Amino acid sequence: MGVSFDKVDGFIWFDGRLVPWKDANVHVLTHGLHYASCVFEGERAYGGKIFKSKEHSERLKASANMLDFEIPFSVAEIVAAKQLVIDTNNLPDGYVRPVAWRGSEMMGVAAQANTIHLAIAAWAWPSYFDPAERLKGIRIDLAQFRRPDPKTIPALAKASGLYMICTIEKHKAERKGYADAMMLDWEGRVAECTGANIFFIRDGKIHTPIADCFLAGITRATVIELARRRRIEVVERRIWPEEIDGFTECFITGSAAEVTPVSEIAQWRFTPGTISEQLMLDYTAEVQSKGRAVAA
């Protein structure tokens, strides 16, 4: 295990200014801790440039609105603050975590008078999965918890409370020797993994679940665009578990996972092939070219 995250050297942007990492703290009675009134983003910088920083900042603001609060900084201010964190901490290739939450003025379900805080941290973080494991395809378990009905929770927000069942399922999967777990939706259809979107391939076409009860990832949208540039058909549709036997390839996407082939989901097996590998290479080229363009 590396250094605890509360003991990292560097600076965190906190409510409009850079503070030493160790001083970026909140009170134990913060509403976001007790009632999950907290939203966040996961982003990566490549070559000194945060990939799709504006899109992530827009989604952060939208997620806060879904949780009935307004982040008191504009999209442009958030974009600039994230870049400042990358530059100040000298992290040309790093992971970026903006997080916004309700403060501690009121402690109870209702907290309309609470201050809304925003912090931005960044740290060095290599590929989410081991590189050698990633090339041969990771192993994924099938989760027991399901993504909730969007009528019961703001399912399209990137909100901390939505990840509770993800942590539970990822822990269970890791204890069984898997890298992650695939979750179904409330009706039993394929949804996503614990922190990544999922894609399947059959007969040269890519199939992926409709993202209407889980987060439609920014990496997901990028990979769909990259596939269509290569004239690979992408079908967004309902996918039932009994269909998985008919797919030959599978991969997952996310800012942390990037593009990672899958070799196994519970009893189903896949062989990472040309489409998965090509999109993995295309995504790497896409994010690195954006960083090089800025550096130039």
Q: Which residues are catalytic?
A: 158
Q: Which bin fits 295, alpha (ψ -120 to 50), beta or left (φ > 0)?
A: alpha
Nearest to 288 by CA among 46, 119, 85: 46
Residues in a beta bridge with 250: 200
Name residues whose C-beta falls within 8 Å of residue 139's C-beta, 6 or more positions apart in sequence: 177, 178, 179, 262, 263, 264
* DSSP-derived secondary structure letter, 163: G
CA distance 34 to 12: 23
Contact status, residue 151 vs residue 281, Cβ threshold 8 Å: no
Beta strand residue intervals within the chain, DSSP E: 11-14, 17-20, 38-40, 43-46, 49-50, 94-102, 116-123, 138-142, 180-184, 190-193, 197-202, 205-209, 234-237, 249-254, 258-265, 268-269
